[in-house]
Amino acid sequence: MAREAPLYELQGISKSFGHVEALKDVDVQVYKGEIIGLVGDNGAGKSTLIKILSGIYAADSGTIRYKENVVRINNYRDSQALGIATIYQDRALVDSVSIYRNIFMGNELLTPYRFLDKRKMRKEADYVLNESISIGIKSSKQMVGDLSGGQKQAVAIARAIYFRARLLLLDEPTNALSVKESRQVMKFVKNLREEGISSVFVTHNLLHVYTIADRFVILSHGEKVGDFKKAEITMEQLEHMIVTGRSHVN
Amino acid sequence: MSKVQKKTKHRTGNLKKVLRYKDISIVIITIALFTIFTLVNKKFLTKENLFIIVKTTPELGIIAIGMTMLIISGEFDLSVGSTFAFAPFIMASLSERMGLHPVFALIMGIIVGVGIGFINGIITTKVGIPSFITTLGTMMAWRGAVLLASAGFPQAFQRDLPVARLFAGRLSGFPVQFIWFIVFAIIMWIILENTRFGNWTYVTGGNRNASVALGIPVDRVKIINFMIIGGLAALAGSIQVFRMGSAYSNAGLGMELQAIGATVIGGTMLTGGSGTIIGTIMGTIIIFSVENIIILSGAPAFWFRTFVGVIIIVAVSAHVLIQGRRD
Ligand SMILES: Nc1ncnc2c1ncn2[C@@H]1O[C@H](COP(=O)(O)OP(=O)(O)O)[C@@H](O)[C@H]1O
Ligand SMILES: [Mg+2]
């Protein structure tokens, strides 16, 4: 099937920690507006792959392309500049300050006299929270520490939306969430797909990932052992592959 | 939902909102203490007595403001008491012994304070040891230095110089140092609440990893806050020299703990990431009111420490009870 070029493309990515080969020669393509379920057993290398895209680790070898051009991601800024936003389970929010200060931290809006433009930040934050991911947050002046786990994820996602992310990386975003909250987070990710935003979704919950993803990339001991569209694989086959690390199509 | 239910829900909602306002618990604590003190001693709430409190508050208060910012950024500074003695001693020596113009001598003293803060900040962030250890070390080092330089003798400073009157004189009877205290409090409040640096100070202390992940220069934020408190400690020490007419090598002993005390009484959490200047101002005023009521009541002065200790625990407990634990 002829298809447009991938938006992001990883080619031959390898990464070792001492003698542990966390990733071996992995290729992944991400197309516009698709949700990729990145699956594999514990220690398969999923988080390492996510961290390479978000600029926390540098790959030992391999190339990253954005819109067919080779790019380098050396730090968070590079990653952000390429439209990549990482939603960490807990790491990237500050509980002791308000929602709008969280959304804009590191990217504060300033008045011409270089003071914080609090009114504008509040307005923009309220807008994204209500329009894009309405989740029952009344005011962006609320402390993040007072929010539920799902609402915190929503704030992190709101930050990504506001800064026009084109690729969301979600590493086990639903781990600490209730069933209802997980469902909400998955709904945001789906809504964003309608707006053309791609996601890479890592989770242990097979049901979640099978419900939401358009394509599955399966890692085992640092190697890619499968890459299937949803139509090509059943949930049972997917589970089998994760457990055995072998492709079901032989 | 019935109308009555709706109404009560609305009302508790409002009450909650008021209680959530971050400075509300310190306001309640201050009003409660002032009421008690007034009942205990009629002289407490007189103009003359309040002037006495106002005169002594600024020296600790100016340091406590800096301590608040530093604690919000996730660090603290035990060396402020030594800076409070060392930097003004340099100022007084430069002016009185070397004949440097007193204004330049003051500027030099403040530069020394900022430099001490810079050293604390660099060691803490770049070597990566806890600021408790760094500043415990520099606390002893600078105290030793000022004892050595002074050989135990106070360094006189002319109290009637214009610069001394500018910082520690009177304005129709009112001690001007209190005005400076409020001026610095307002400046620091504006910086904390309304600038990018202030926002970075909060988020750095609140979640260092998140701040790093979002590209915030956390080390620089901390170093600058160390420099601010160093400069403020030097200024506060100079104000004491202007007020007393001498720089003493044992000035500011124990001040670091009082400053931390004022800060936590004001509702700043030692864990970093939250706190307010207004709370700290109230906390400082509370400490001096306690000292004052003890003196007024003719109780032995050593009750002061015991009392302040109790107030610290009571105030922090009250913050937790009124505003709820934040974890
Ligand atoms: N910072 C690190 N230092 C050393 N080893 C690491 C580090 N990060 C990951 N690893 C190792 O790399 C392998 C892959 O880890 P990870 O990517 O976290 O797997 P997953 O997220 O799929 O569970 C594991 O063997 C893990 O122990
Ligand atoms: Mg992982």
In a domain, B287, yes or no: no
In a domain, B325, yes or no: no
What pLDDT, on a 0 to 100 scale, did the predictor assign at position B200?
98
Determine the Cα–Cα distance for residues A208 and B25; give it in Å rounded to an integer: 44
Our count of domains for chain B comes to 1
| Short-list B243, B253, B270, CA closest to B178 | B243
In a domain, B93, yes or no: yes
Our count of domains for chain A comes to 1
What pLDDT, on a 0 to 100 scale, did the predictor assign at position A48?
96
Ligand 2 mean position to A51 CA, how many Å? 10
Q: Do B274 and A114 touch (CB under 8 A)?
A: no
CB < 8 Å & 24+ apart, contacts of A188-191: A188/A132, A188/A133, A188/A153, A188/A154, A188/A157, A189/A35, A189/A157, A190/A35, A191/A132, A191/A133
- For residue A222, the ligand 1 atom closest to its alpha carbon is 14
Distance (Å) from the alpha carbon of A236 to chain B's nearest alpha carbon: 37
Residue span of the structural domain in which B89 resides:
61-276
Contacts A122 to B, Cβ<8 Å = none
Reported confidence tier of residue A1, pLDDT bands at 50, 70, 90: very low
Q: Do B213 and A56 touch (CB under 8 A)?
A: yes
What pLDDT, on a 0 to 100 scale, did the predictor assign at position B9?
46
| Residue whose CA is at the smallest distance from ligand 1 atom 2 | A17
We report the CATH number of the domain holding residue A236 as: 3.40.50.300
Name the residue of A19, A20, A46 whose CB sits within 8 Å of the most ligand 1 atoms, as the mutation to test its pocket.
A20
Q: Looking at chain B, which residue has its C-alpha nearest residue A57? A: B213
Ligand 1 mean position to B209 CA, how many Å? 19
The pLDDT tens digits for A69-101 are 999 999 888 998 999 998 876 658 999 999 999
Amino acid in the structure at residue A230: K
> Average pLDDT of B155-169?
93
Amino acid in the structure at residue B293: I
Q: Which of A160-164, A193-197, B176-180 has the highest mean pLDDT?
A: B176-180
Q: Do B274 and A94 touch (CB under 8 A)?
A: no
- For residue A51, the ligand 1 atom closest to its alpha carbon is 17
In a domain, A3, yes or no: no
In a domain, B260, yes or no: yes
In a domain, A249, yes or no: no
Determine the Cα–Cα distance for residues A170 and A203; give it in Å rounded to an integer: 8
> Average pLDDT of A194-209?
91
Residue span of the structural domain in which A214 resides:
8-244
What pLDDT, on a 0 to 100 scale, did the predictor assign at position B6?
44
Query: What DSSP designation does A54 have?
Result: T
In a domain, A26, yes or no: yes
Determine the Cα–Cα distance for residues B189 and B276; give it in Å rounded to an integer: 8
Q: In what order do the strands lie in the sheet with A167-171?
A: A84-87, A167-171, A198-202, A35-39, A215-220, A223-229
DSSP A113-136: TSSB-HHHHHHHHHHIIIIIT--S
In a domain, B324, yes or no: no
Q: Directed axis angle between helix B277-296 and helix B255-265, to 10°?
A: 110
Is B184 within 8 Å of B62 (Cβ atoms)? yes
Longest dimension (CA), chain B: 81
- Beta strands in chain A, from DSSP E residues, in sequence order: 8-17, 20-30, 35-39, 61-66, 69-71, 84-87, 167-171, 198-202, 215-220, 223-229
In a domain, B100, yes or no: yes
In a domain, B17, yes or no: no
The residues, any chain, with a CB within 8 Å of residue B62's CB and separated by 6 or more, are B180, B181, B184, B232, B233, B235, B236, B239
Q: Count of residues for chain B? A: 327
Distance (Å) from the alpha carbon of B75 to chain A's nearest alpha carbon: 16
In a domain, B137, yes or no: yes
In a domain, A250, yes or no: no
Q: Do A96 and B211 touch (CB under 8 A)?
A: no
What pLDDT, on a 0 to 100 scale, did the predictor assign at position B18?
55
> Average pLDDT of B175-201?
96
Tokens for A5, please give them.
């070029």
